[in-house]
């Protein structure tokens, strides 16, 4: 079953080290997966291994004017793990990285988009972050955040909770959006 092209956008977080788990799950579900990482996200991932796993280059930067696109256009996007920085910039329409440009544009195109933040209790409690999540929800983005999805952890303990990050929930949410025929 070919579901189309899924972009997975990973941000700078210890959980990004395990983004290959989501790639594997999505590929088993019939997605052609492309991985895009934020500049800080690139510090956490194994770029050559992800490129081998997906068959596509792992992108971080905007292409040069006139250069061809090296990735197929997305049919859906998952942003996981999403950082406070990325969520806040996205909710303000800032597109200063390729990852942000893709979600801002994807939203404008009506693509199904799911975001699953990974942050600690202190950062996740900031009012601007909470308002940004609500703004994205109001705009039709599926936001998987809170104790029902993944409890926040104390600052400095993010590495200890990597193994329990619920990658499959993001994929289930994007499937629900696609099957319902809604962006």
pLDDT digits (tens, 9 = 90+) for 156-177: 998 888 999 999 999 999 999 8
Helix locations, the chain, DSSP H = 19-28, 47-54, 84-91, 98-109, 121-124, 127-138, 167-179
**pLDDT band (50, 70, 90) for residue 183:** low
Can you tell me the distance from the alpha carbon of 127 to that of 9, in angstroms, rounded to the nearest whole number? 24
CATH number, domain at 44? 3.40.50.1950
Q: What is the mean pLDDT of residues 100-126?
A: 96
Q: How far is CA 49 from CA 18, 52, 81, 110, in A?
A: 11, 5, 18, 31
Q: Looking at residue 168, what is its pLDDT?
A: 96
Counted domains in the chain: 1
Q: Is the pLDDT of residue 88 over 60?
A: yes
Q: What is the pTM of this model?
A: 0.96
pLDDT at 69 over 90: yes
Other CB atoms within 10 A of residue 47 CB: 14
Q: Per-residue pLDDT averaged across 64-77, rounded?
A: 96
Q: What is the pLDDT of residue 182?
A: 57
Cα 127 to Cα 143: distance, rounded to the nearest angstrom: 16
Mean pLDDT, residues 47-60: 98
For the stretch 1-29, pLDDT in tens is 789 999 999 999 999 999 999 999 999 99
Range of the domain at 155: 4-179
Q: What would the mean pLDDT of 102-130 be, rounded to a whole number? A: 96
Quickly count: other Cβ atoms within 10 Å of residue 18's Cβ. 18
pLDDT score of 139 more than 60? yes
């Amino acid at each position: 079953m070919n579901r189309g092209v899924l972009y997975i956008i990973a941000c700078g977080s210890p959980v990004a080290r395990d983004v290959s788990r989501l790639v594997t799950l999505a590929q088993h579900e019939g997605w052609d997966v492309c991985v895009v990482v934020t500049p800080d996200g690139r510090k956490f991932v194994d770029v050559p291994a992800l490129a081998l796993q997906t068959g596509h280059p792992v992108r971080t930067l905007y292409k040069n004017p006139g250069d061809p696109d090296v990735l197929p256009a997305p049919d859906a996007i998952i942003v996981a793990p999403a950082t406070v920085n990325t969520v806040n910039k996205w909710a303000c329409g800032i597109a200063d990285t390729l990852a942000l440009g893709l979600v801002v544009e994807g939203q404008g195109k009506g693509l199904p988009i799911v975001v699953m933040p990974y942050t600690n209790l202190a950062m996740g409690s900031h009012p601007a972050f909470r308002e940004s999540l609500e703004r994205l929800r109001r705009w039709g983005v599926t936001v998987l955040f809170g104790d029902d999805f993944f409890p926040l952890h104390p600052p400095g303990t993010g590495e200890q909770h990597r193994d329990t990050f619920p990658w499959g929930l993001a994929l289930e949410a994007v499937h629900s959006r696609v099957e319902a025929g809604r962006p």
